Amino acid sequence: MTNAGGAEAARLPAGDFSTWLGGTGRAIAGASDADVPCGTCTACCTSSQFVHIGPDETDTLARIPKALLFPAPLLPRGHVLLGYDERGHCPMLVENQCSIYEHRPRTCRAYDCRVFPAAGLTLDDDESKGRIAAQVRRWDFGYPDDANRVEQEAVRAAAVFLDGRRDELPAGAVPTSATQLAVLAIEVHGVFLQRENQTGRQVVVDPHPEVVGAELLRRRGPPLANPKPTRRQAGRRPRV
């Protein structure tokens, strides 16, 4: 990868994979915030992202003007989306910093673009997501032992399975969004692991669709990121 000046962009240490995976699982479950070494990067805040906010996030909702919010498609009443301005920037981003960082939405607290390389997924270098795609390519996971590599193989196997065999799984259980697919692969990757009786080592397996489907139904709940708004809603831009 090269930057605009032609120089090769520096790789970013993403941490040991298993350690990262455990922390990400807790963040997805809402038990903690994602610990992302973003530095000065604001790619996720400047890439035309709609941010889901749940009705229980009263502290966050109290700090965002109501004019910037609209109902989230396909979700129960009270779930809303925060849009973006004409530049594709979150309206709460002021002077390249989040103006409500200590009170930011749960979606932002859990977001971690390392889910893409972890699941072996890529983003298109289009106008809206190009900055995130560039950041994703820089992450470099560490693998201090074989267990770390096997866990990543399981996550990637889950992503391939979910995307390629969605017709064999419960209707609507597999999202089309790359972000949601990566998160779901992380959530269900344990189904793709099995411990060998003789060695005690974990190996990647190819489970039956019914087994994966049962796990999907067990875990089904509000998504981390939301379906795209309708054409009418997508045209609505925050008034800033």
| Blockwise average pLDDT, block size 10, the chain, 240 residues | 50 95 94 91 92 97 96 92 94 95 95 96 74 92 97 98 96 90 96 92 96 91 46 41
pLDDT score for 146: 96
Task: Answer left, alpha or beta for residue 51, where phi above 0 means left and psi between -120 and 50 means alpha.
Answer: beta
Describe the chain by its helix, strand, coil percentages, rounded to 5.
40, 10, 50
- Three-state SS at 16: strand
Q: Which amino acid is at 176?
A: T
By the 8 A CB rule, do 107 and 98 touch? no
pLDDT score for 8: 52
User: How much is the CA Rg of the chain, to the nearest whole Å?
Assistant: 19
pLDDT score for 126: 65
pTM assigned to the model: 0.81
The set of residues, in sequence order, having a beta carbon less than 8 Å from that of 95 and lying 6+ positions away, is none
pLDDT score for 226: 43
As a whole number of angstroms, the distance between CA 50 and CA 230 comes to: 12
pLDDT score for 197: 87
pLDDT score for 84: 94
pLDDT score for 2: 41
By the 8 A CB rule, do 185 and 173 touch? no
Element (H, E) at 80: strand 80-82
E strand map for 106-150: 139-142
Structure tokens at 159: 């992503």
pLDDT score for 221: 53
pLDDT score for 177: 87
The set of residues, in sequence order, having a beta carbon less than 8 Å from that of 227 and lying 6+ positions away, is 73, 74, 175, 177
